[in-house]
């Protein structure tokens, strides 16, 4: 039996494990390292429904969800939603549409954290 090589993700991202948590990319892992010691509650890969399930002409359409990389809370109040991007290729038309529907539904801007692999630094911008 041969050795199985780990498969890279859809955008050539290499998964990493930090503190026993599996991240889809090195960029997500680096952002986690940046925020892990904050006192506020942080959730990872929390799903939000952006379109309810519905039926048309007997055909059922499932609910659509948006899953940001990180959500930060002040008590029970969601205060910041972060989507980590390692490159421009990961900002697809589909991703933009899901983010837009999230912002409409939850009245909350999304912060895009772009990771520069050369410098190891993040730049943040709000959508």
Q: How far apart are CA 58 and CA 61, in angstroms?
A: 10
Based on the number of CB atoms within 10 Å of its own CB, is 47 exposed (0-12), middle (13-18) or buried (19 or more)? exposed
Q: Which residue has the tokens 């190891």?
A: 120
Query: Would strands 110-116 and 77-85 be described as parallel, antiparallel, or unpaired?
Result: parallel
Residues 6+ apart with CB under 8 A from 49: 63, 64, 65, 105
Q: Write the CATH number of the domain with boundaries 16-126.
A: 3.40.1350.10
Confidence band for 3, pLDDT divided at 50, 70 and 90: low
Domain edges within the chain = 16-126
Centre a 10 Å sphere on the Cβ of residue 32 and count the other Cβ atoms it contains: 19
Span 105-122, average pLDDT? 92
Question: Residue 41 pLDDT > 90, yes or no?
Answer: yes
Centre a 10 Å sphere on the Cβ of residue 84 and count the other Cβ atoms it contains: 26
Span 28-50, average pLDDT? 93
pLDDT at 60: 97
Model-level pTM? 0.83
């Amino acid at each position: 039996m041969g050795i199985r090589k780990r498969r890279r993700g859809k955008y050539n991202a290499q998964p990493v494990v930090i503190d026993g948590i599996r991240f889809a990319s090195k960029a997500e892992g680096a952002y986690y390292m940046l925020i892990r010691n904050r006192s506020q509650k942080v959730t990872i890969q929390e799903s939000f429904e952006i379109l309810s399930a519905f039926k048309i002409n007997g055909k059922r359409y499932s609910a659509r969800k948006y899953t940001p990389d990180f959500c930060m809370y002040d008590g029970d109040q969601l205060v910041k939603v972060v989507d980590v991007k390692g490159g421009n290729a990961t900002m697809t038309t589909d991703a933009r549409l899901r983010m837009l529907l999230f912002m409409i539904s939850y009245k909350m801007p999304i912060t895009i954290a772009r990771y520069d692999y050369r410098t190891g630094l993040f730049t943040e911008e709000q959508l």
